[in-house]
């Protein structure tokens, strides 16, 4: 059974940093690209960042460029999202996904339950 479990979300003030983690089980994580998406109330799910199976290639959505960094540790079967200089508009549920590392959610096969990130002004 494939499981992706996100952690590290919470309530922070604007300007703070958070590091999200996505622990995987039930799949050969080194064979998958991984992505972080987010969805705010009333908005569509959007790509924050994606990373190839080796970690050698990354891509960022408009929301993730410049302030966020995606990384992975295949030995630990874990993917990370370092988020710096958080803004209130970063408030959303953040999801981890396994599949490719493309920009569309349709390219991902497996999803976590999400972790809430709330940034207060």
Predicted pLDDT of residue 68: 98
Predicted pLDDT of residue 63: 84
Question: If pLDDT is split at 50, 70 and 90, which confidence band does 31 have?
Answer: confident
pLDDT at 94 over 90: yes
6-15, 22-31, 87-96: least confident range: 22-31
Predicted pLDDT of residue 36: 97
22 contacts: CB under 8 Å, gap ≥ 6: 4, 5, 6, 7, 34, 36, 78, 79, 80, 81, 96, 112
């Amino acid at each position: 059974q494939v499981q992706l479990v996100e952690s590290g979300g919470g309530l922070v003030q604007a300007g703070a940093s958070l590091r999200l983690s996505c622990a995987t089980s039930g799949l050969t994580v080194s064979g998958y690209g991984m992505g972080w998406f987010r969805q705010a109330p009333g908005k569509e799910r959007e790509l924050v960042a994606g990373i190839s199976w080796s970690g050698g290639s990354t891509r960022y959505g408009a929301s993730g460029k410049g302030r966020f960094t995606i990384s992975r540790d295949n030995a630990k079967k874990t993917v990370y999202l370092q988020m710096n200089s958080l803004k209130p508009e970063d408030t959303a549920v953040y999801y981890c996904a396994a599949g490719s590392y493309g920009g569309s959610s349709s390219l991902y096969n497996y999803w976590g339950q999400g972790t809430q990130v709330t940034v207060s002004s």
